[in-house]
Chains A and B, each alone.
Chain A
């Protein structure tokens, strides 16, 4: 006959009653209650929290959670063409192997001695990104591409001492929303439009809005709408002429084939490394990067940590640490150099693994392969009656806008029909960009085979007929 003993929890070693008793005795307390006696009674929660019954056995927990998740149907179980900031790329097995190792997964903020591994892997990540971007300074990752964009803009205002900032309209609603909220105290945001035909930045409008009060121009390349900006160099010149900085938001997986923005004059480059080895995870695989040249003026304005290499007292041995730990902001009127905290370091390590596996050849091949598949899809889609693909007559990387005005159908209707056939159609842009009519943003990557794309074409052809 077993007596009512309080449960012992596997995650709480000292919940074993005998141990608990022993410790209480050593501390000189009757019960755990005594430790809370400084909390006024009026602030104490009366009674028990009203929470679901616990799933004490691991088996019950697993069954419960897996049961819930089973109600999802995934991109891989279907055929997925969604992008818009989170993309379906192949995740190498070695990437998962590395970021699932407990040594990395459960580490946090140790010193560059006991956590040497973390420092070296992140330094190597930054170094590999530096090669990809052709820049000498890359930060430890921030939360996501949205944060990287917003912080880049704030950095530009601090570096130039100016408030006015120009942002391309083709950056997507989420990113714009984040920028508007985050940059409010330090920048006055103004939008610059794109050409209806080509999706390229409207240079005339740019020149009109740019002035000697402008801190920076921010644009994506490829843009949110998938277009590759052709006149990067010219844009940089226009901005620099007025003393403004050029900030370019890139897709890192494109840089095996596309020119790194630094080469055509970008001063700050930012973006999201999710395509480099992170599963989509319902949007939870994002991590942002910011890169600049190695000018003290720029380095001092990073809010993020920057890991540098340095010798130890033993010859031939190297260690790591924080560069410019005390950031002396050149803008004395510090509108706050933002903050540093837990963000997305594990994804930085993972992206390093990805780049190391791919190497220069892999990055070139994947970039070209993605563009070819996307081009194939565009050409085939365009053969469908009433469908225009791409909407913009300009080179694209992996995403492109498909217009359905000619079909008389809304994107919502089309996507519903596609979904019934197990296909996730491109993101509906109708609300975000009403000027584009009935349009959707399609993303085609190296995960799509010819059959996949053909299947999409067939389904659409049937649907709009």
Chain B
């Protein structure tokens, strides 16, 4: 055969050839199936003789009903087996480290710098107990305080709590603060409604409802903006507040946002800014300029902290000064010399999360912001939006794809596309395209339910991916979309090159079949 120039083989007809991707497929059994009686994965420290002698038989003192009779049927593996099992499963997981993860629109899957992970793995943080004397934790308190100052500047608001455990928890905290505010004003009984929009994150509605409010949802007008007239019809003396995202999940920035805030203020309500999509507007516009009373940031989105398969995370909640008294305790204070934990907020809504939230996440977010500075953060927003509009241009070249709403307007941060035309012409649905994309090593997410935009596809490139990577992503989607027209079967029967094949969904909705644990599965299927 001899030598061939493989760099030339990466192109055909002037276009790059798609990867011949195949995800690791280990067909790895469930861990219980690997168990063999007697194996140990780790040994626990031996009890010293003196302790054993002095303490006696501690279990004998337990009443019979409290002493465990049958040992838990946990799997018994040796250590290397455990490592091997989880290492294999990790290969069957496509984190942002591995794929061009722009398909998880609204999740802001940007690069999580490795240095930040290492900084947070410092024993000087790992081995701190949350109730240690303040004198002993001045370092971590400083990081938390300094990061709060950064958030204050980015948002323009006055005080932040880093306690909520993610975005939804922060939204819930904000709703709790709104409730506390109206209670203090003697109007909480009268004000029992919270307004939000259909394109805001569903947690806005869900959290407001959990807090006991009636939720009024605004649908978009013909251009895809939240309907201002609808808002006017929705406000009344029963309005407690407005929860809104801007730009919304469609990627469109609502230019009338200040009017929205004004109208709600006029009715006596407070306004909370869900900044889940803040990545595209860092340094450009802030909660303060639109006169928001509260806001929250997802540190695992805009601030680069890793998503961890779904947490841990932090939802930083910020407020104007007059609402600071309601924040969850403790807050971090600084008197010029020492940092202090302040539990003395008489009107605090109490605790939203345990201890001080997730300080490791704060360290990572702090480090990220400090590595960029004001200019860097501005560049983040600028490039994220450039990437977004570049992607838009390329995606619109794909037959069958369209972008609803706001024709001709620029998009911020992410875009919700629609495969409506393709679906009509080929009978292939957006979800099916997304699954076929997995055969090329990428993924995309459709939308929250319900699908207001038909056959949706939401992409968010962020600032972390190169032009070449964006091009590759588009090439894959274009290819898969093309297959919908020429070879729909291969799309509908996907995935083919992934970890497993099409999963049957019937068992998930049938109580007689569903199994959330291995033991339930063995019982229902194996007749154990």
Contacts and interface: CB of A to CB of B under 8 A. Distances in A.
A/B touching: CB–CB < 8 A: yes
B255 interface: yes
B167 A54 contact: no
B262 to A, nearest CB: 12
B166 A64 contact: no
Interface string A20-55: 101110110100101111111011110011111111
B184 to A, nearest CB: 15
Interface string B454-472: 0000000001111101000
A115 interface: yes
A208 interface: no
A132 interface: yes
A24 B352 CA distance: 44
A11 B113 contact: yes
A336 to B, nearest CB: 3
A117 B92 contact: yes
Contacts of A49: 153-154, 283, 374, 377-378
A23 B467 contact: yes
A178 B284 CA distance: 36
Nearest to A14: B383
Contact of B354 (A85, A230, A373): A85
A318 B121 CA distance: 35
B502 A313 contact: yes
Interface in B125-167: 125-133, 135-140, 142-143, 146, 150, 153-154, 156, 165-167
Interface in B407-446: 409-410, 412, 434-435, 438, 443, 445
Contacts of A347: 311-312
Contact of A9 (B59, B379, B393, B409): B379
Contacts of A326: 509
A358 B41 contact: yes
Contact of B40 (A110, A186, A272, A359): A359
A49 to B, nearest CB: 4
A282 B283 contact: no
Interface in A42-100: 42-45, 48-56, 58, 61-62, 64-66, 68-78, 80, 82, 84-86, 88, 90, 92, 94, 96-100
A323 B127 contact: no
A14 B466 contact: yes
B437 to A, nearest CB: 9
Given A11-B111, A69-B139, A359-B76, A143 B353 contact: yes
Nearest to A233: B65
Interface residues of A, number: 211
- Most chain B CB neighbours (cut-off 10 Å) among A12, A97, A284: A284
B17 interface: no
B486 interface: no
Contacts of B212: 184-186, 335-336
Contact of A136 (B51, B169, B289, B519): B519
Contact of B86 (A54, A317, A353): A353
A371 B59 contact: yes
- Most chain A CB neighbours (cut-off 10 Å) among B87, B310, B504, B514: B310
B264 interface: no
Nearest to A29: B389
Contact of B47 (A37, A99, A287, A372): A372
23 contacts: A14-B463, A15-B383, A24-B386, A39-B255, A45-B284, A65-B363, A65-B370, A74-B126, A101-B87, A106-B97, A114-B94, A117-B89, A127-B32, A136-B517, A281-B360, A308-B515, A309-B30, A312-B504, A319-B501, A324-B508, A363-B74, A368-B59, A419-B133
Which 8 residue pairs spanning A and B have beta carbons closest together?
A283-B355, A54-B373, A185-B212, A283-B130, A117-B93, A357-B41, A345-B310, A341-B168
